[in-house]
Structure 1
Amino acid sequence: MRKTLITALIAAVALPAIAVPSVASAQNREVRRERADLREERRELNQARRYGDRRDVRRERRDVRDARRDLNEERREQRWGRNDWRDYRGRNRALYARGNWRAPFRYNQFRVGGRIAPAYYGQRYWINDPGRYRLPPVGRYQRWVRHYNDVILIDTRRGYVVDVIRGFYW
């Protein structure tokens, strides 16, 4: 019984660690494939410059441009986006459950560029692990802060609201 329990615990810890890199490696494979396509198109362009006529060179330039655009799109898809959390939230509803969270002040609808009091973005309201919720990474002197169901990105030095995501929690 004890060995079974230990094995189950090890599997529960190891499986998520194994599953995540497979997604990342699939994305890296796509980037590598796009890079290889771009190198091949450049080789063909050089060959057309040596042995081909103007139409061949024009066609190959267009192919190189398309391959470069495809590579850039693939790289862009891998970066964090503002709305990466939406699909993840749909699959992991319990993580975004509102719970029994209340602030000692009433709800205010903050806007980007506004200035707010430090009481609203004190350390007790910080989201310490924004990656857990698939929030975009923050810059220097910035923090994600929970305000009722909303999430606010604050410039902690000056108190300015940098970004607001309304209805983030259920």
Structure 2
Amino acid sequence: MRKWIIWGLIAATAAPGIASAQSAAELRHDRREIRQDQRDLRHAQRHGDRRDVRDARRDVRDSRREYREDWRDYRRAHRDVYRAGSWRAPFGYSRWNAGAQLRPAYYSSRYYISDPYRYRLPRPGANMRWVRHYNDVLLVNVRTGRVMQVHRGFFW
């Protein structure tokens, strides 16, 4: 009997946390409802009386507050995805000049410009690749890591 009481208490404490977690789709739906409330508020301001405007403002304010709380709960529940720094590149922006030596992380195959003719870049020579670094384009010798040419702000 005592075992059932303990299990019941555990279930009673865990159930509200599980029930309050929302999915991303539900959060998007809530966001749409907030936008609709804002449209209703603008309409009430143009055509309605003061009481309608006050009610609409209160609804929008409450909806925003609930959305922020739900978003915090969603992020807490999916902490592994929203962990700080998980989206960053292994390096930051550096202003490279011709003749500089790059580490392989800066000119790995994921940064190659596969079709330089599409961007009207000249044909790279043997062992050379056009590499994108933020908005700059670098012509890099992939054997040595040496920067041969730089076009700053190319993608800007």
Question: TM-score normalised to the size of structure 2?
Answer: 0.43
After TM superposition, the score normalised by the length of structure 1 is: 0.39
Pair member with larger Rg: 2
